[in-house]
């Protein structure tokens, strides 16, 4: 029996930690990359790169979201994953080719719409990235669906390290923005090569027709994922459409890039949660599935103090990473980070709705949010610029989180404890105050963030937020890691 079936809770925690730590290489290497690019490309060049990457991301995510969650759900429930996995690989690659052609054809019209002629060749270059990315993500879905969370963590780590090295080398060679795009494409190729070390479904052969439920889930989740992506990135695009300068777009994009860590955690956690919960529900272990959903909701509420820490230290963070010219990104980061944490609750709700066979929830939530953020940006950006866009985005993300809480309660009858909300609010105020009254600069900022982070965890411990089972689980992980280190020393 696999760990996914025998010890789903421990396997989920272990996988989440590993995938998240591997995923942390993205913001860590991304900070180095962003700091390097902002200094090499300037605010205008960096603004163009962020804008083209955002438009590319819409197409990429649309394709991947059509296949990813349904694939994870159905592979997780299958006794033999190979037929579904082989079909998934071929169909997703074909969809990636179509998406790449579509982005290439739209490159010049989009550049004209945004009044940035240089955007067209960058989008055309990103179009070559989409088929490779689609094929890579298909392999990732298989790894998650069959419960190989550790292998997924390895492939992610290889990707982010390769991305950093390739971008640094190519841009330093004088390739500028195209070098950054080619470096990202090369990193996807590295991730694909590593993924095929662990799973090797045949790339060629007959393309079988997937079952009707797969397409039903895929269409609904694809549309909602695109809407969620548009919702999250609309601030940047609307800022440019409504007359914002490339400098303003670069500043907003820099703050947006620093606020991705909560979203990264959600991206690391939600596929693993979906795989685990789907299998539990398929095996009839409903109470255990609900317990995992309950724990996921508590975890999201518990993240807010860490967001408050970042908000309090935001001016120092942006200055350290991007330089003094991006100082105006500090207040924007402080707002976006709190909204990004709230939006992780939406990821949990989408997982529960998908595993429960109710994907329509994602449409019921995503459509109103897009309408709200569109209206809000039209009102706030002309008056307050980039900061207004950030306020609208964060407020709408909070509304989405509240709607998700009530949706989960309606589906499964679970809700985070009021005590968790109160502890999170009090500790958030403490973390924010400590970050503000303790001024630092340079590398001392890392020590400050680490120290306040420890204070947050201790505050939760002293206030008895953690249960005995959670403490025992944490101790078991620490103990197992210590044993592994000792065994390696003996060898």
Q: Mean pLDDT per segment of 10 residues, for the chain of length 491 residues? A: 46 52 58 74 78 82 77 73 80 89 90 84 90 89 78 82 89 85 91 88 68 68 78 84 80 84 72 74 80 86 93 89 82 93 89 78 88 93 90 94 90 89 95 92 86 93 80 58 45 41
Please report the pLDDT score of residue 6 as a whole number.
44
Note the Cα 167 to chain centre separation in Å: 21
For the record, the structure tokens of 128 come out as 């070559």
* Cβ–Cβ < 8 Å for 407, 253: no
Please report the pLDDT score of residue 475 as a whole number.
62
Distance, in Å, from the CA atom of 301 to the CA atom of 459, rounded to the nearest integer, reads: 15
* Cβ–Cβ < 8 Å for 132, 192: yes
The C-alpha angle with vertex 143 and arms to 139 and 146, in degrees rounded to 5, equals 135
Burial group, residue 105, by CB count within 10 angstroms (0-12, 13-18, 19+): exposed
Neighbours of 121 (CB within 10 A): 16
Please report the pLDDT score of residue 485 as a whole number.
43
Note the Cα 404 to chain centre separation in Å: 18
Please report the pLDDT score of residue 399 as a whole number.
94
Burial group, residue 241, by CB count within 10 angstroms (0-12, 13-18, 19+): middle
Distance, in Å, from the CA atom of 1 to the CA atom of 5, rounded to the nearest integer, reads: 6
For the record, the structure tokens of 348 come out as 């949990």
Burial group, residue 468, by CB count within 10 angstroms (0-12, 13-18, 19+): exposed
Q: Which contacts of 177-181 are long-range, i.e. CB under 8 A and separated by 24 or more positions?
A: 177/41, 177/45, 177/48, 177/49, 177/52, 177/122, 178/121, 178/122, 178/125, 180/33, 180/37, 180/41, 180/49, 181/49, 181/52, 181/122, 181/125, 181/126, 181/129
Please report the pLDDT score of residue 206 as a whole number.
67
Please report the pLDDT score of residue 2 as a whole number.
42
For the record, the structure tokens of 107 come out as 């490159």
CB-based contacts of 301, cutoff 8 Å, min separation 6: 416, 420, 421, 424
Note the Cα 366 to chain centre separation in Å: 17
- What predicted TM-score, i.e. pTM, was given to this entire model? 0.70
User: What is the 3-class SS of 9-71, one letter each residue?
Assistant: HHHHHHHHHHHHHHHHHHHHHHHHHHHHHHHHHHHHHHHHHHHHHHHHHHHHHHHHHHHHHHH
Please report the pLDDT score of residue 92 as a whole number.
86
Please report the pLDDT score of residue 5 as a whole number.
45
Neighbours of 476 (CB within 10 A): 12
């Amino acid at each position: 029996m696999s760990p996914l079936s025998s010890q789903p809770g421990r396997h989920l925690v272990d996988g989440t930690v590993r995938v998240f730590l591997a995923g942390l290489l993205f913001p860590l290497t991304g900070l180095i990359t962003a700091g390097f690019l902002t200094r090499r490309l300037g605010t205008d060049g960096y603004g163009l790169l962020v804008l083209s990457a955002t438009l590319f991301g819409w197409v990429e995510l649309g394709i991947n979201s059509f296949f990813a969650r349904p694939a994870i759900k159905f592979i997780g429930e299958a006794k033999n994953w190979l037929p579904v996995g082989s079909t998934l690989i071929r169909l997703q690659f074909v969809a990636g080719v179509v998406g790449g052609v579509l982005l290439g054809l739209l490159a010049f019209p989009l550049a004209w719409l945004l009044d940035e002629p240089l955007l067209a060749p960058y989008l055309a270059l990103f179009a070559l990235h989409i088929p490779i990315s689609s094929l890579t993500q298909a392999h990732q879905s298989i790894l998650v669906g069959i419960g190989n969370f550790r292998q997924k963590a390895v492939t992610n780590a290889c990707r982010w390290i390769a991305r950093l090295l390739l971008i640094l080398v190519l841009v330093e060679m004088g390739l500028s923005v195209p070098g950054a795009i080619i470096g990202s494409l090369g990193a996807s190729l590295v991730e694909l090569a590593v993924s095929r070390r662990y799973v090797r479904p045949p790339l060629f052969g007959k393309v079988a027709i997937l079952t009707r439920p797969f397409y039903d889930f895929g269409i609904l989740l694809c549309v909602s994922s695109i809407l969620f992506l548009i919702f999250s990135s609309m601030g940047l695009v609307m800022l440019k459409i409504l007359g914002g300068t490339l400098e303003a777009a670069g500043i907003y994009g820099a703050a947006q890039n620093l606020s991705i860590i909560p979203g990264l955690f959600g991206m690391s956690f939600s596929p693993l949660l979906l795989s685990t919960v789907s299998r539990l529900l398929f095996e009839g272990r409903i109470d255990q599935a609900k317990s995992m959903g309950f724990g996921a909701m508590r975890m999201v509420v518990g993240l807010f103090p860490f967001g408050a820490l970042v908000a309090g230290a935001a001016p120092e963070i942006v200055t350290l990473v991007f330089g003094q010219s991006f100082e105006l990104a500090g207040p924007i980061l402080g707002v976006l980070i709190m909204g990004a944490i709230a939006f992780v609750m939406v990821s949990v709700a989408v997982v529960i709705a998908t595993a429960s066979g109710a994907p329509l929830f994602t449409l019921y939530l995503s459509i109103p949010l897009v309408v709200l953020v569109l209206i809000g940006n039209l009102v706030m950006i002309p008056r307050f610029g980039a900061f207004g866009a950030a306020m609208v985005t964060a407020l709408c993300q909070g509304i989405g989180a509240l709607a998700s809480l009530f949706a989960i309660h309606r589906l499964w009858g679970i809700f985070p404890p009021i005590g968790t909300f109160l502890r999170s609010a009090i500790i958030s105020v403490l973390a924010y105050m400590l970050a503000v009254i303790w001024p630092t600069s340079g590398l001392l900022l890392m020590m400050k963030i680490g120290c306040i982070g420890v204070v947050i965890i201790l505050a939760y411990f002293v206030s008895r937020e953690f249960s005995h089972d959670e403490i025992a689980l944490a101790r078991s992980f620490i103990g197992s890691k210590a044993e592994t280190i000792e065994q390696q020393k003996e060898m």
